[in-house]
Copies of this chain bind each other. A is one copy, B any other.
Amino acid sequence: MLNAKVFTVEMNAPDDVSGLKDLLDSGAIKPEEVLAVLGKTEGNGCVNDFTRGFSTMAFKQLLADYLDTSPKEVEKRVAFVMSGGTEGVMTPHATIFAQSEEKASAPAEPGLSIGVAFTRDFLPEELGTMTQVEEVAKAVEAAMAEARIDSVSDVHFVQIKCPLLTSERINDALKRGRKVVVSDTYKSMGYSRAASALGIALALGEVNKEQLADEKIASDWSLYSALASTSAGVELENCEIILMGNSRHSVSKYKIGHSVMEDAIDIQAVLAAMRDAGLEFAGLPTAEQMKRVVNVFAKAEADPTGYVRGRRNTMLTDSDINHTRHARAVVNAVVASVVGDPMVYISGGAEHQGPAGGGPVAVILEK
Residue of B nearest to A329 (CB): B329
From A49, A171, A317, residue with most partner B Cβ within 10 Å? A317
Please, how many angstroms separate the alpha-carbon atoms of A326 and B340 in the complex? 18
Judged by DSSP, the binding face of A is loop
Q: Are B234 and A311 in contact (CB under 8 A)?
A: no
Interface range on chain A: under 10, 10 to 19, 20 to 34, or 35 or more?
35 or more
The answer, yes or no, to whether A334 is at the interface (CB within 8 Å) is: yes
- For this complex, 7 residue pairs linking A to B, each with C-beta atoms less than 8 Å apart, are A12-B168, A48-B317, A54-B54, A88-B88, A167-B306, A321-B321, A337-B337
Please, how many angstroms separate the alpha-carbon atoms of A13 and B53 in the complex? 10
The answer, yes or no, to whether A1 is at the interface (CB within 8 Å) is: no
Q: Which residues of B contact A317 (CB under 8 A)?
A: 47-48, 166-167, 185
Add 4 more A-B contacts to A14-B50, A48-B314, A91-B312 (CB < 8 A).
A46-B320, A88-B327, A89-B311, A282-B282
Please, how many angstroms separate the alpha-carbon atoms of A260 and B168 in the complex? 28
From A12, A53, A171, residue with most partner B Cβ within 10 Å? A53
Q: Are B284 and A234 in contact (CB under 8 A)?
A: no
- In the assembled complex, the CB of A148 is this many whole angstroms from the nearest CB of chain B, namely 34
Please, how many angstroms separate the alpha-carbon atoms of A343 and B265 in the complex? 12
Q: Are A316 and B50 in contact (CB under 8 A)?
A: no
The answer, yes or no, to whether A186 is at the interface (CB within 8 Å) is: yes
